[in-house]
Structure 1
Amino acid sequence: MTVRSTEADSKGLVGSDRVLAVLKELARYPDGVGLEELTQVIASPKPTVHRALQSLRRAGLADQDGRGHYLLGDEFLRMAFAHHEARPDHVRVHPVLEALAERFGETAHYAVLDGHEVVYRAKVDPPTGAVRLTSTVGGRNPAHATGVGKLLLAHELRTVHDVEAWIGDGALERRTPRTHCTAAELHEEFEAIREHGYALDDQENEPGVNCLALPLYATSANTPSGAVSVSALTYRTPLSTLVDAYADIRSLLGPLGEPLR
């Protein structure tokens, strides 16, 4: 994020934006980052970045280690984890993800829709297995290229005109040669999702990774609050294996997998 001129420092909104930009950048350096490097990344004068860091330190949101490097503070981590753990959907979904990861020996996710992207709210890796996925809680992916995203979009976009309006004037990113990017392709797939009750990602977001996704009703009686997926390495768990196990996956969701009629 590029910060605007220093003349705007005294204007509260711009100054706040600058502090938040520094905070977000610190999250990219778990081992800490020096003031010089941070200044270059933020593209703002050193005194400005230093003032932002001091504000964050006073609030406990940033800290400085023995090398003089800056990193996220303990108070920030405490707040973030306390908030994350207190989320009703996360608390209720986590046992389901654990059961899925153990049953299939693959990674289970819970994700919600945010515009054109999905945000991963929870993730459980398999208890055993040397190769695991690199997805992270809080990470994002294009909704149209993921099983969880397509599952949730299918509940919102009922007609091809809905899909066209959602896509808008821009072009959707083709993450792999298998990614569906046109309104016609997605509408056809959304109809199949509504018919079958699940969505598939056949290496559409990342080569070598597929998944099967189902809706979850954690915070709403009739509208999916998010989607759960079993994401697998194709050489280890082919997509056909996940499809054949649909009934097992559905049963592990329990009441959270059924809307109230």
Structure 2
Amino acid sequence: MVMSEDRAEADGRLVGSDRVLALLIELARRPDGASLDDLAVALDSAKSTVHRALGSLTRSGLATRESLGRYSLGDEFLRLAFAYQESRPEAARVMPALRRLAERFGETAHYAVLEGGDVVYRAKVDPAVGSVRLSSSIGGRNPARVTGVGKAILAHQLSTTAQAMKWAREHPVEQRTPNTLTSDKRWAEDIARVREQGFAVDDQENDPGINCIAVRVVTPSGEGALSVSALAYRTPLSTLIDAVEEVRAVAASIV
């Protein structure tokens, strides 16, 4: 007996286009690829139904079947994603500024926006040499509380300590590093400093060994923040703070 889609949805099972989309997301989480068995377990679906969904994705080029029966995202998916990212007006506006910052400091420059309790990275430029793997990626998220870009935006939105405390209570954060400000009170005090000085820092609060300076920017697309994320041993936080006026000038060049 075939279960109707309405019944399947009521039971919490993936059906039709939902299954295809869930499969696409699952493949994106597996850069090394995954077998049919792995995907069926991850989606809690029969192998035959997952295989049909994979057929739809592979025919469109959004997935590819590799050796040993493993599946991964296809080149067409990557082409579409990168083409879309590069053509977004927001990215086009901030990329020249990010390139200038990456070249000036020899470190990674980011542009991010706030979504709920997270920041989402919309653009990123690594230095020509000496780049390291950070926890950020285009489209990726990090808790706003532990990032310079997040604090730069929130300091403008949370105009009082009471507002900052309320926001902090609603968005608790885990101890990601020894420097993470898990105390709501200390975080609210930090936001007050950001508001007063006009820039934010991440003193190894999100990634060990990585510090950051960030300033808020407003573009025709909306509000965001620009940052320089640096290896602490190579570019100390004090060096970034001393150069904050340069970062502000680059941010002001975005039109």
TM-score by length of 1: 0.85
Q: How does 1:22-41 map to 2 (within 5 A)?
A: 22-41=23-42
1:44 and 1:101 mapped to 2: Cα distance?
Answer: 45
Aligned residues: 249
Structure 1 residues not aligned, in runs of 5+: 1-5
Counterpart pick for 1:254 among 230, 252, 255: 252
Matched residue, 1:216: 217
2:234 and 2:43 mapped to 1: Cα distance?
Answer: 42
Question: Residue 49 of structure 1: SS of its match in structure 2?
Answer: helix
Matched residue, 2:161: 160
Deviations 1:141-163 (A, max 9, x none): 11000100111111112223323
The range that moved more, 246-255 or 100-109, is 246-255
Mapped pair 1:101 → 2:108: no
Query: How large is the RMSD of aligned CA atoms in angstroms?
Result: 2.4
Deviations 1:65-117 (A, max 9, x none): 35432222333223212221111111111111111111111111111111111
For the 8 Å contact 2:112–2:149, the answer to whether it is kept is: yes
Matched residue, 2:200: 199
Q: How does 1:107-118 map to 2 (within 5 A)?
A: 107-118=108-119
Cα pair distance change 1:184/1:130, threshold 3 Å? closer
Cα pair distance change 1:216/1:172, threshold 3 Å? same
Q: Percent identity?
A: 54
2:6 and 2:69 mapped to 1: Cα distance?
Answer: 27
Mapped pair 1:187 → 2:188: yes
Q: CA deviation at 1:23?
A: 0.6
Matched residue, 2:149: 148
2:4 and 2:189 mapped to 1: Cα distance?
Answer: 50
Q: CA deviation at 1:203?
A: 0.8
1:182 and 1:66 mapped to 2: Cα distance?
Answer: 50
Deviations 1:31-55 (A, max 9, x none): 4322112222223221222222223
Cα pair distance change 1:23/1:8, threshold 3 Å? farther
One-letter amino acid of the counterpart of residue 36, structure 1: D
Matched residue, 1:3: none
Cα pair distance change 1:253/1:184, threshold 3 Å? same
Cα pair distance change 1:167/1:52, threshold 3 Å? farther
Cα pair distance change 1:186/1:64, threshold 3 Å? same
Q: CA deviation at 1:134?
A: 4.8
1:167 and 1:8 mapped to 2: Cα distance?
Answer: 44
One-letter amino acid of the counterpart of residue 87, structure 1: R
The range that moved more, 107-116 or 155-164, is 155-164
The range that moved more, 190-199 or 73-82, is 73-82
For the 8 Å contact 2:98–2:124, the answer to whether it is kept is: yes
Question: Residue 253 of structure 1: SS of its match in structure 2?
Answer: helix
Structure 2 residues not aligned, in runs of 5+: none
Cα pair distance change 1:134/1:8, threshold 3 Å? same
One-letter amino acid of the counterpart of residue 163, structure 1: A
